[in-house]
Chain A
Amino acid sequence: DAGVTQSPTHLIKTRGQQVTLRCSPKSGHDTVSWYQQALGQGPQFIFQYYEEEERQRGNFPDRFSGHQFPNYSSELNVNALLLGDSALYLCASSLIPQGVKAEQFFGPGTRLTVL
Protein backbone atom coordinates (compact mmCIF):
# COMPACT_ATOMS: atom_id res chain seq x y z
CA ASP A 1 0.00 0.00 0.00
CA ALA A 2 1.78 3.10 -1.26
CA GLY A 3 1.80 6.06 1.04
CA VAL A 4 1.79 9.71 0.06
CA THR A 5 4.51 10.54 -2.44
CA GLN A 6 5.86 13.93 -3.43
CA SER A 7 8.18 15.18 -6.13
CA PRO A 8 10.71 16.57 -6.42
CA THR A 9 12.55 16.05 -3.16
CA HIS A 10 14.53 19.25 -3.39
CA LEU A 11 14.24 22.29 -5.61
CA ILE A 12 16.26 25.48 -5.99
CA LYS A 13 14.74 28.52 -7.71
CA THR A 14 15.48 32.21 -7.96
CA ARG A 15 13.25 35.10 -7.00
CA GLY A 16 10.48 35.80 -9.48
CA GLN A 17 10.41 32.31 -10.94
CA GLN A 18 7.49 29.91 -10.83
CA VAL A 19 7.49 26.42 -9.34
CA THR A 20 5.23 23.36 -9.47
CA LEU A 21 5.25 20.69 -6.80
CA ARG A 22 3.50 17.34 -7.17
CA CYS A 23 1.74 14.96 -4.80
CA SER A 24 0.15 11.54 -5.10
CA PRO A 25 -2.18 10.63 -2.24
CA LYS A 26 -2.29 7.41 -0.30
CA SER A 27 -4.17 4.69 -2.10
CA GLY A 28 -7.91 5.07 -1.53
CA HIS A 29 -7.75 8.69 -0.38
CA ASP A 30 -9.68 11.39 -2.22
CA THR A 31 -8.55 14.59 -0.55
CA VAL A 32 -5.22 16.38 -0.70
CA SER A 33 -4.07 19.18 1.59
CA TRP A 34 -0.92 21.28 1.21
CA TYR A 35 1.12 22.80 4.02
CA GLN A 36 4.10 25.14 4.17
CA GLN A 37 6.62 24.54 6.94
CA ALA A 38 9.22 27.26 7.42
CA LEU A 39 12.40 26.37 9.26
CA GLY A 40 11.75 25.94 12.97
CA GLN A 41 7.99 26.36 12.61
CA GLY A 42 4.96 24.15 12.50
CA PRO A 43 3.23 23.42 9.20
CA GLN A 44 0.83 26.11 7.99
CA PHE A 45 -2.27 25.11 6.03
CA ILE A 46 -2.27 26.40 2.45
CA PHE A 47 -5.34 24.77 0.88
CA GLN A 48 -7.25 21.54 0.43
CA TYR A 49 -8.54 19.91 -2.75
CA TYR A 50 -11.45 17.55 -3.14
CA GLU A 51 -13.28 16.51 -6.32
CA GLU A 52 -10.83 18.61 -8.31
CA GLU A 53 -11.87 21.81 -6.55
CA GLU A 54 -10.32 23.95 -3.85
CA ARG A 55 -12.37 23.22 -0.77
CA GLN A 56 -10.63 25.26 1.90
CA ARG A 57 -7.87 27.82 1.93
CA GLY A 58 -5.54 29.23 4.55
CA ASN A 59 -4.03 32.71 4.73
CA PHE A 60 -1.84 32.52 1.64
CA PRO A 61 -1.77 34.96 -1.29
CA ASP A 62 -3.11 34.18 -4.73
CA ARG A 63 0.44 33.44 -5.89
CA PHE A 64 -0.23 30.03 -4.37
CA SER A 65 -2.57 27.97 -6.51
CA GLY A 66 -3.29 24.33 -6.98
CA HIS A 67 -4.96 21.67 -8.98
CA GLN A 68 -6.32 18.20 -8.40
CA PHE A 69 -6.56 15.63 -11.17
CA PRO A 70 -9.20 12.92 -11.69
CA ASN A 71 -6.82 10.34 -10.18
CA TYR A 72 -6.74 12.50 -6.99
CA SER A 73 -3.12 13.55 -7.43
CA SER A 74 -2.42 17.22 -6.95
CA GLU A 75 -0.09 20.05 -7.87
CA LEU A 76 0.91 23.14 -5.95
CA ASN A 77 1.99 26.13 -8.01
CA VAL A 78 3.74 29.18 -6.66
CA ASN A 79 4.26 32.21 -8.91
CA ALA A 80 6.62 35.15 -8.51
CA LEU A 81 8.70 33.40 -5.90
CA LEU A 82 9.96 35.38 -2.91
CA LEU A 83 12.82 34.56 -0.59
CA GLY A 84 10.24 33.96 2.13
CA ASP A 85 8.74 31.11 0.14
CA SER A 86 11.74 28.97 1.04
CA ALA A 87 10.30 26.13 3.11
CA LEU A 88 9.40 22.47 3.28
CA TYR A 89 6.14 21.90 1.44
CA LEU A 90 4.13 19.00 2.77
CA CYS A 91 1.28 17.21 1.12
CA ALA A 92 -1.26 15.24 3.15
CA SER A 93 -4.08 12.97 2.04
CA SER A 94 -7.26 11.90 3.78
CA LEU A 95 -10.82 10.72 3.22
CA ILE A 96 -13.35 13.52 3.11
CA PRO A 97 -16.29 11.53 4.53
CA GLN A 98 -14.44 11.33 7.85
CA GLY A 99 -14.76 15.05 8.20
CA VAL A 100 -13.19 16.70 11.19
CA LYS A 101 -11.82 13.44 12.60
CA ALA A 102 -10.02 12.49 9.41
CA GLU A 103 -6.48 11.37 9.95
CA GLN A 104 -4.12 12.97 7.48
CA PHE A 105 -1.20 11.00 6.11
CA PHE A 106 1.79 13.14 5.19
CA GLY A 107 4.34 12.78 2.44
CA PRO A 108 8.08 13.36 2.89
CA GLY A 109 7.84 16.89 1.57
CA THR A 110 9.59 19.00 -1.04
CA ARG A 111 12.33 21.31 0.19
CA LEU A 112 12.14 24.55 -1.81
CA THR A 113 14.99 27.02 -1.65
CA VAL A 114 14.56 30.44 -3.24
CA LEU A 115 17.76 32.37 -3.91
Chain B
Amino acid sequence: AQKVTQAQTEISVVEKEDVTLDCVYETRDTTYYLFWYKQPPSGELVFLIRRNSFDEQNEISGRYSWNFQKSTSSFNFTITASQVVDSAVYFCALRGGNEKLTFGTGTRLTIIP
Protein backbone atom coordinates (compact mmCIF):
# COMPACT_ATOMS: atom_id res chain seq x y z
CA ALA B 1 0.00 0.00 0.00
CA GLN B 2 1.09 3.54 -0.66
CA LYS B 3 0.98 6.30 1.90
CA VAL B 4 2.00 9.96 1.98
CA THR B 5 2.32 11.83 5.26
CA GLN B 6 2.42 15.58 5.60
CA ALA B 7 2.73 16.08 9.33
CA GLN B 8 2.50 19.87 9.19
CA THR B 9 -1.17 20.78 9.00
CA GLU B 10 -0.68 24.54 9.00
CA ILE B 11 2.35 26.82 8.81
CA SER B 12 2.48 30.60 9.09
CA VAL B 13 5.56 32.66 8.33
CA VAL B 14 6.27 36.31 7.82
CA GLU B 15 6.88 37.43 4.25
CA LYS B 16 10.48 36.99 3.02
CA GLU B 17 11.18 34.17 5.46
CA ASP B 18 12.17 30.75 4.15
CA VAL B 19 9.82 27.85 4.80
CA THR B 20 10.14 24.09 4.36
CA LEU B 21 7.19 21.75 3.85
CA ASP B 22 7.80 18.16 4.86
CA CYS B 23 6.67 15.02 3.03
CA VAL B 24 7.30 11.43 4.01
CA TYR B 25 6.12 8.54 1.87
CA GLU B 26 5.75 4.77 2.01
CA THR B 27 5.75 2.40 -0.93
CA ARG B 28 6.98 -1.09 -1.79
CA ASP B 29 7.50 -0.19 -5.42
CA THR B 30 11.04 0.30 -6.69
CA THR B 31 9.86 2.58 -9.47
CA TYR B 32 7.69 5.46 -8.41
CA TYR B 33 7.18 9.16 -8.92
CA LEU B 34 6.74 11.92 -6.38
CA PHE B 35 4.85 15.13 -7.04
CA TRP B 36 4.12 18.44 -5.37
CA TYR B 37 0.94 20.36 -6.14
CA LYS B 38 -0.24 23.78 -5.01
CA GLN B 39 -3.92 24.43 -4.37
CA PRO B 40 -4.84 28.12 -4.14
CA PRO B 41 -8.23 29.21 -2.78
CA SER B 42 -9.72 28.81 -6.27
CA GLY B 43 -9.42 25.05 -5.78
CA GLU B 44 -7.50 24.05 -8.89
CA LEU B 45 -4.44 21.89 -8.24
CA VAL B 46 -1.34 23.35 -9.86
CA PHE B 47 1.52 21.00 -10.71
CA LEU B 48 4.89 22.12 -9.30
CA ILE B 49 7.35 19.26 -9.72
CA ARG B 50 7.75 15.57 -10.55
CA ARG B 51 10.66 13.45 -9.38
CA ASN B 52 11.33 9.77 -10.14
CA SER B 53 12.65 7.28 -7.63
CA PHE B 54 15.98 6.90 -9.41
CA ASP B 55 16.85 10.57 -9.41
CA GLU B 56 17.88 11.87 -6.00
CA GLN B 57 19.36 15.03 -7.38
CA ASN B 58 17.95 18.08 -5.65
CA GLU B 59 16.23 20.60 -7.83
CA ILE B 60 15.94 24.36 -7.69
CA SER B 61 13.46 26.41 -9.67
CA GLY B 62 13.55 30.09 -8.83
CA ARG B 63 12.52 30.47 -5.20
CA TYR B 64 11.46 26.81 -5.00
CA SER B 65 13.73 23.88 -4.18
CA TRP B 66 13.13 20.21 -3.49
CA ASN B 67 15.18 17.78 -1.42
CA PHE B 68 14.58 14.10 -2.23
CA GLN B 69 16.17 11.53 0.12
CA LYS B 70 15.35 7.87 -0.48
CA SER B 71 17.18 6.85 2.70
CA THR B 72 14.57 8.66 4.80
CA SER B 73 11.69 8.37 2.28
CA SER B 74 11.31 12.12 2.27
CA PHE B 75 10.65 14.68 -0.43
CA ASN B 76 10.71 18.10 1.19
CA PHE B 77 9.85 21.39 -0.45
CA THR B 78 11.45 24.74 0.45
CA ILE B 79 10.28 28.19 -0.54
CA THR B 80 12.95 30.85 -0.22
CA ALA B 81 12.06 34.48 0.45
CA SER B 82 8.35 33.67 0.72
CA GLN B 83 5.75 35.97 -0.79
CA VAL B 84 2.07 36.50 -0.02
CA VAL B 85 1.18 34.83 -3.34
CA ASP B 86 2.70 31.61 -1.99
CA SER B 87 -0.21 31.28 0.44
CA ALA B 88 -2.04 28.10 -0.49
CA VAL B 89 -2.46 24.46 0.46
CA TYR B 90 0.43 22.31 -0.75
CA PHE B 91 0.07 18.61 -1.45
CA CYS B 92 2.71 15.97 -1.81
CA ALA B 93 1.68 12.93 -3.88
CA LEU B 94 3.05 9.54 -4.89
CA ARG B 95 2.40 7.30 -7.87
CA GLY B 96 3.76 3.79 -7.97
CA GLY B 97 3.35 0.77 -10.18
CA ASN B 98 -0.43 0.74 -9.88
CA GLU B 99 -0.40 4.23 -11.38
CA LYS B 100 -2.84 5.54 -8.78
CA LEU B 101 -1.92 8.94 -7.45
CA THR B 102 -1.93 9.00 -3.64
CA PHE B 103 -2.03 12.40 -1.95
CA GLY B 104 -1.05 13.52 1.51
CA THR B 105 -3.47 15.53 3.62
CA GLY B 106 -1.83 18.80 2.65
CA THR B 107 -0.10 21.67 4.44
CA ARG B 108 -1.85 25.04 4.61
CA LEU B 109 0.79 27.74 4.20
CA THR B 110 -0.02 31.32 5.17
CA ILE B 111 2.43 34.08 4.38
CA ILE B 112 1.91 37.09 6.64
CA PRO B 113 2.66 40.44 5.00
Contact = CB atoms under 8 A, between A and B. Distances in A.
A100 B45 contact: no
Interface of A: 33, 35, 40-45, 48, 56, 58, 88, 90, 92, 99-109, 111
5 contacts: A35-B101, A88-B43, A92-B101, A101-B50, A104-B101
A91 B42 CA distance: 15
A45 B91 contact: no
Interface of B: 4, 31-33, 35, 37, 42-47, 50, 52, 91, 93, 95-106
B43 A108 contact: yes
Nearest to A33: B101
Nearest to A47: B100
A14 to B, nearest CB: 23
Given A43-B45, A44-B103, A106-B44, 5 more contacts: A45-B101, A56-B100, A106-B46, A108-B42, A109-B44
Contact of B33 (A44, A88, A100): A100
Q: Which of A88, A100, A103 lies at the interface centre, i.e. has the most chain B CB atoms within 10 A of its CB?
A: A100
A109 B41 CA distance: 12
Given A100-B32, A101-B50, A107 B44 contact: yes
Contact of B50 (A56, A88, A103, A109): A103
Contacts of A101: 33, 50, 52, 95
A42 B104 CA distance: 6
Contact of A58 (B31, B50, B95, B100): B100
B94 to A, nearest CB: 10
Given A33-B101, A42-B106, A56-B99, A100 B47 contact: no
